[in-house]
Amino acid sequence: MSQTLGHIINGEYIPDTARCQDVFNPGLGKVIRKVALASADTVDKAITAAENAFPAWRDTPPLKRARIMFRFHQLLTENADEIAALISEEHGKIHHDALGEFQRGLEVVEYACGAPELLKGEHSKNAGPKVDSWSELQPLGVVAGITPFNFPAMVPMWMFPMAIVCGNTFVLKPSEKDPSAVMRVAELLQQAGLPDGVLNLVNGDKEAVGALLADNRVQALSFVGSTPIAEYIYATGCANGKRVQALGGAKNHALILPDADIDNAVNALMGAAFGSCGERCMAISVAVVVGDELADTMVAKLAAQLATMKVGIGTDNSMEMGPLISKEHMHKVAGYIATAEPEGAKLVVDGRELSVAEYPDGYFLGGSLIDKVKPGMKVYDDEIFGPVLCVVRVASMQAGMELINQHEYGNGTCIFTRDGEAARYFTDNIQAGMVGVNVPLPVPVAFHSFGGWKRSLFGDLYAYGPDSVRFYTRRKTITQRWPSAAVREGVSFSFPS
């Protein structure tokens, strides 16, 4: 991997050293390479390349587009370990977790291989006397994606495979914190036979984002990140006439009922709260426990599990949790933990006490467990995005559901119970976009769609799955009639029926 990462524009690697930023290995706490930060002029070149490639790609039959995706899928499969290693190196997540992320992105590529079926329109013969009517799904043109650090390969693969098989051309701006994995993914798509200019990748920061938002050639934009930025992207993009889907933050609750399989719930919460160091928009960060007796039991079991959790560098596959993405984020999460007891909560396990002797400069925090948390506390209200699990005690299932529904975020949630009636009531009445029953991370499979409610999503359509076809295309309906040459028709001023 190059010491300074540039861009991929019109099928060519473009070196760029005008303005750069360090890329760290967060487990070592050391700079391992640099990444270019694109200027507005560089973004303009990428958009121009996409614009020029669009007419020919739009006219490429969906079956031929799908064949490229099949070859891409094969290359991704063959290079999975390499891509996962790049994720571990720059993000810090453990290699097995990085492979899991990669697999979920690969599933979207598999779904994209069905483009000929997904893009079929609808046809009605004789909708009227000798009148036929049909609809077509046509691509938008140049579309763009802005993706976050926490899933450097998966989230980009949520976007560009579906956009491309729908006939669009794409400009991707990945996170500047961990860009290497998706650059390798983009190279493999070129090897699969994608024409030059159909996918362009520009590394960058706010300047690149601003250029994508401002350029009227960009017809649509997909974003995943924090809620304040998602809201800004949505408002600015819409004001500039773009179609926008902006996925924001989360504060995902798990409701645990007294009849639940407690050991199963504890194991599930450990993985959902502390996997990937809690840097997931679907992480469970609040356990809502019904009854003090159950809460006492769960807190004791969670604390015991945390005492044995293995924390270390991402390249060590025997570890269970890695470092946070940056020193700044580590300090931010530690700052949240520091507010817990002054605001009245009980800090059962303090992750700030962890040290990883082999890697003293790494950005490590242990898992933190905070009991007796209430709304109004910073650790409850805010998205911490770190290895912190809060426990809220409630008297009943109904009280727990009201608590969840009152939160500003509505990304995902789950319930642990053996009661089918309770589970059905929960799924029917909880206000969140993705709901699990004894499933702590209810991330939809690739042939469904991913998205939350309330301030977790700005826009009308979810990511990947059927909604991605709707987002990256627009419907055109054609009505056709061939009148008989032997019969001359008179003028009609009535509305056609």
- Positions marked active-site: 281
Angle at 383 between CA 260 and CA 172, to 5 degrees: 110
Matching residue, tokens 């990462």: 5
Is residue 227 within 8 Å of residue 409, measured between CB atoms? yes
The CA dihedral of 231, 234, 236, 237, to the nearest 10 degrees, is 160
Nearest-angstrom CA–CA distance, 76 and 74:
5
Q: Which segments within 217-341 are labelled E, that is strand?
A: 218-224, 243-247, 252-256, 284-290
Q: Which of 201, 177, 203 is nearest to 189 (CA)?
A: 201
Q: Which of 114, 190, 176 is nearest to 446 (CA)?
A: 114
State whether residue 477 is helix, strand or coil.
strand
Beta bridge partners of 457: 247
Which 8-state DSSP code applies to residue 260? Answer: S
H or E, element range at 71: helix 62-78
Nearest-angstrom CA–CA distance, 245 and 234:
7
Is residue 474 within 8 Å of residue 468, measured between CB atoms? no
Is residue 362 within 8 Å of residue 323, measured between CB atoms? yes
Longest dimension (CA), the chain: 92
C-alpha 252: how far from its chain's center? 15
State whether residue 306 is helix, strand or coil.
helix
Q: Which segments within 147-281 are labelled E, that is strand?
A: 169-173, 199-201, 218-224, 243-247, 252-256
Nearest-angstrom CA–CA distance, 343 and 86:
40
